[in-house]
Amino acid sequence: MRPALPILLIAAMAAHAQPPVPANPASQAARQWRQTHERAIVSEFFDLLAVPNIARDRPNIRRNADLIVKMLEKRGVKAQLVEQGPANPVVRGEIPTPGATRTIVFYAHYDGQPLDPKEWATPPFEPVLRDRSLEKDGRVVPLPAAGTPFDPESRIYARSASDDKAPILAIVTALDAIKAAGLKTKSNIRFVFEGEEEAGSINLEALLAAHKDLFTGDIWLICDGPVHQTRRQLVAFGARGVVGFDITIYGPRRELHSGHYGNWAPNPAMELVRLLASMKDDSGRVLVDRFYEGIEPLSETEKRAVAEAPAVDADLMRELWLGSTEGAPKKLVDLLQAPSFNIRGMASSRIGDQASNVIPSTASASIDMRLVKGMDHAKTIERVIDHIRKQSYFIVDADPSAEVRMAHPKIAKITGREGYNAARTSMDLPVSQEVIRVVESARGPSVKLPTMGGSVPLVMIERAVGTRTITIPIANHDNNQHSSNENLRIQNLWDGIELMAALLTM
């Protein structure tokens, strides 16, 4: 028997072969349409990516929303902006289907993560095409002339190229293909494109609840996130919740000379490190009391899906230059079904060429915790705060006064605390099985998971409009999501168009 090739190597080899013709008629029509319109599709995508989309940038957020409305109207979709209080506009579109007995809602978001342009190889809102990934020394290349096919391994670099404007572009292109082929929708179709998902979707539930009749649907298909690391299509029936907070530890009123005051003045950076280290053990298990309390166990179907998911750990370790992983010997797919505690950033004084021989005045960290079904985000953060208190810290929610600082040996300021719970749809429901069949008719065998690692406001959607959610992502796994040099592999865009065509006609 020949030794098995690494999964990611197989994927890389397969990437250079022509993808098999999908069995789904709408997907076939989408491929034929795309093959003759590649330049126009990417040009429209570049126009959308060129509009800055950070949630707090209200003027540009509205420019995005207005542009997406025009993109939908161009396809004959009735579109509007729905607004509620301080929320960024939600773009809503609808395709009524005479005689249809159900409604399918497609969700994506058009806002993107905050960024520092200095960290990008090219300006984040000036999309470019590279002949391969930056990690493989990809060069900026011009868009091919109309009628000339794109290299499927080339990549588009821009903020939100993958997260999450790609599905919006894939959907509207699929509508073009369906119309050109004379195909019809069988269900009523609605589109919901949010403008503040990356800011925590803090207004989404209230907006949906206030306009429930505009957003109801039998199933919401969540078009966000990456496909599986093997490049096989992922179908996820839930997403982890998330809650975050910022913590600041206080030392002397001002920075002090480390020679004159070292070993005497408390160092807040050292104290912060000790505090954070007290929250996880070396294997990655969170040490906060009752952190894992209330977790809803997986069903037998869900356990079987996790067990059948391809193992990619060894290949990912090589790709990411990792010598070890947290939680080993457990696999990534197993650990994604559990909650996590993550330090997403730390700061105290200065480092490198800017470092001074000082004892810092403060030290801060930003934390996110991913939650699984059964955990309550508010209770979870209170348990963490209780843990901090047990380490002898006095808790405040604003910068403490001189009197407070002198009255307490240890002070921690906790701010933030925004978040939401996890949600999970049963994989055994008839609609769940139908979605799997349709996906696989377009993309071949899929990877099916009860929960994906990232967080999407599924619980808000389900509570507000009384529906179920299933996540159908299209981006490549190595897309630099939430970081600099975000990108989308062209073949993932092409595959996404075919997938959306199949789902729109299910």
> CATH no. for residue 164?
3.40.630.10
Residues above pLDDT 90, as percent of the chain? 95
Q: What is the pLDDT of residue 487?
A: 98
Q: Which residues of 93-113 are buried (b: 16+ CB within 10 A; e: fewer)?
A: bbbeeeeeeebbbbbbbbbbb
Summarised one tens digit per residue, pLDDT across range 278-294 is 999 999 999 999 999 99
Summarised one tens digit per residue, pLDDT across range 8-55 is 444 444 444 467 788 999 999 999 999 999 999 999 999 999 999 999
C-alpha neighbours within 13 Å on the C-beta side of residue 352: 1
Residue 351 placed within a domain: yes
Summarised one tens digit per residue, pLDDT across range 227-250 is 999 999 999 999 999 999 999 999
Residue 479 placed within a domain: yes
Summarised one tens digit per residue, pLDDT across range 156-194 is 999 999 999 999 999 999 999 999 999 999 999 999 999
- Residues 155 and 274 placed together within one structural domain of the fold: no
Strands 90-95 and 128-130 turn out to be: unpaired
Asked whether residue 2 carries a pLDDT value surpassing 80, the answer given is no
SS3 label, residue 475: strand
Residue 325 placed within a domain: no
- Residues 142 and 199 placed together within one structural domain of the fold: yes
- Indicate the pLDDT class of residue 388, thresholds 50, 70 and 90: very high
Q: What is the pLDDT of residue 4?
A: 40
Point out the domain boundary residue: 420, 452, 468.
420
- Residues 475 and 375 placed together within one structural domain of the fold: no
Residue 317 placed within a domain: no
Measured CA angle at 214 (ends 213, 215), to 5 deg:
95
Q: What is the pLDDT of residue 18?
A: 60
Tokens of residue 221, six digits: 């298909």
- Residues 117 and 176 placed together within one structural domain of the fold: yes
- Residues 200 and 98 placed together within one structural domain of the fold: yes
Q: What is the pLDDT of residue 167?
A: 98
- Residues 87 and 130 placed together within one structural domain of the fold: yes
Tokens of residue 503, six digits: 């789902």
Q: What is the pLDDT of residue 20?
A: 78
pTM value surpassing 0.85: yes
Round the average pLDDT of the chain to a whole number and report it: 95
Q: What is the pLDDT of residue 181?
A: 98
Point out the domain boundary residue: 390, 420, 450.
420
SS3 label, residue 258: helix
DSSP E strand stretches across 336-449: 340-347, 358-359, 362-371, 394-396, 411-420, 423-424, 447-449
